[in-house]
Chain A
Amino acid sequence: MIWDEPIECMSLDDMKELQLKRLQEVVTTAFNKVPYYHKRYTEEEVYPEDIETLEDIEKLPFTTKTDLRASYPFGLFAVPQKEIVEIHTSSGTTGKPTVSGYTKEDLDTWSEVIARGLTMMGVGEDDIIQNTHGYGLFTGGFGVHYGGQKVGATVVPISTGQTLRQIELLKDFKTSVLIFTPSYGLHIAEELESMGIKPEDLNLNVIGFGSESWTDEMRQQIEEKFKTPAYNIYGLTEVMGPGVAMECSEQDGLHLYEDHFYPEIIDPNTMKQLPEGNEGELVLTTLTRVGMPLIRFRTRDITDIHHEKCGCGRTLIKMGKIRGRTDDMLKIKGVSVFPSQIEKALLSIKGVEPHYQIILTRPDVLDQIEVKVEASPDIFFDNVKELVGIRDKLAQAIHDEIGLRVNVTLVEPKTIDRVDSGKAVRVIDKRNE
């Protein structure tokens, strides 16, 4: 089933026409209503009337997280505060949080895009969605909530944490859809296992997961542990929240809702647009956002986009899964390394748990990488030689993946922090201490 067939299956020409019209409108509004854009565009001597084609978007300067912080809290709103009905913020771990304001209309758009995605996943009015995404300032909880209600499903707004309660409700409510971040999902799976509850004892039909980086191996583990397909959900607080792009039954990339969010891929070094199919940083422009238009926002997420008629019948542009973040990227001994590469290497070895931590130190002048990996019954042998062998095999797999030597340390189960809420701490960088 397709939620909004005219849009989701629109021809490329019609889509471009719609996008251009909306882009011109949003740039005009931003220039007229938001002091930040007015000042930036005046300084750069670029004006709304310069946008005659979609390609002209390249004339406009980028907006970054730093710009959003400089306008904290309400400096990017395009409407009076009384028209803003909801505010979310990012976590603010790296500085002042960035604020995202929504009008009534924006919330409608948000519900609409998630409704499209849930429909792709096969979720409908008979479903019970247990939403473990946190409610509160984090956008995850509410986004899924609004979209879930829009498709007519029953939403259980439990948030992250209280894992035993989650399991109780999974059983008692016969939850059919479970939404989680990959690390929290695996945590639930661990608890289920330790309680002797098998996936067959539950009524799950589908899983939606997002807001954290993951590898194919991690998805496989999730699907295996819950015995149900799991679909990726992409979004970011600044642009809207979850639902910017979602995965269809093909499980081969995400459909990006390009009638609301205009995507570009740029080379983060030259800042130039890259042709379709090339990997680079995703830049998004909100085409319909009323409360807080964002133009050419640098997401920091690394991926690629391409148009193709999808096996599911949709024509919406497809985005690859996020390969890393330009600000997650670690420079180790001059080599670019993404934590996801290390995760991929670890999970390529059977029996290895996806709980790991990367610790970077600089004892003298050279960087050292330690990767702590939790041992599991599957890779524990009553034999030092075999245990050392496993450790060396892990180190070799990582070396093959990133080209650097690392020290792998096997640690006892559940000794690496896995937060009952939010995201796991994958990297500890002590090099500047």
Chain B
Amino acid sequence: MKNTASTIKWILLGVGGLVLLAYPLVAPNRYTVHIVNMAGIWILMSLGLNLAMGYCGQINLALGAFWGVGAYTAALLSTRFGVPIWINMPLGMLLAGITGALIALPMLKVRSHYLALVTIGLAETINIIMVNEIWLTEGPLGISGIPMPNLFGIPIDGAERFYYIVLVCVVVGFLVARQIVSHRIGRSFIAIRDDDTAAKAMGVNVAYYQVLANAICGVYCGVAGVLYAHMSTYISPDIFEFKNALFVLTMTMVGGMGSLAGSVVGGLALPLAQEWLRAIKSWQLVGFGLAIMIVVLFMPGGVVGLTQKIEQAGGIRLPWARKPAAEPSRMEEPNVS
């Protein structure tokens, strides 16, 4: 039984890998490749959010800020100094990671919905800086003419070629996230999420790991930002507004909070669903909102949680089964005097 399961797993991985590698060659047109590239960028952010929120329990709605820091780093360095992507990437990661760590500082003090607000407030403030510091960011007009990358003399000048850069980043990002989760860091995250007082009593340095979780989230969003800047060749502050942070939150929850596979599923499903729904114009977002409600009310564990339920009900183990995540912490019933 175990052997069959692992054989199926390897076959699935092999087929999946081939499909991923061949995708741009068989895709119907460049636009569909672009959508998938964009999905890759969303997946990276969703992975970061999942590590901070799904594993470490840190409510963080400041993703737009991290993403923006990464994107602006790449945009400014490449347009003003002609710095190539492979130098922008580590710098963007570093700066976005530092932003993540800084945003984590209030988290040591405030909690739950207060924290949600503080992170929104900080993200809004960074967005306002992007709009107003025109000398640096060109203001609301945004920065255009960001060069597409050139790797080892090969110009990456179209969505099809850029696809492979995104693919490498997503695969590496996913594997690193998996390492983090199975490492002591990941176990400390989960301990903090489940009960930070108990974790502290067990000798876990809670503050350190909270800052670390958000810094890691920042790094993932930084990668997404650098990729985005070089892919779209144009950025402006409105892209990094709160609504896109919410989009990432939604895809993470639809996929499954506390599951890395969930981030991939959600990060692919939502942008694609959005494209399919584009045909019905204004009703698109109504449908989007209804879909969110349905997920929240009927499958709170997300798509991954649903497969887990199927496994439990049927007593089977699906090849892509994951370790069960603990219940998310509940908010206390308000008891008003």
* A, B bound: no
Residues of A at under 8 Å CB distance from B?
Answer: none
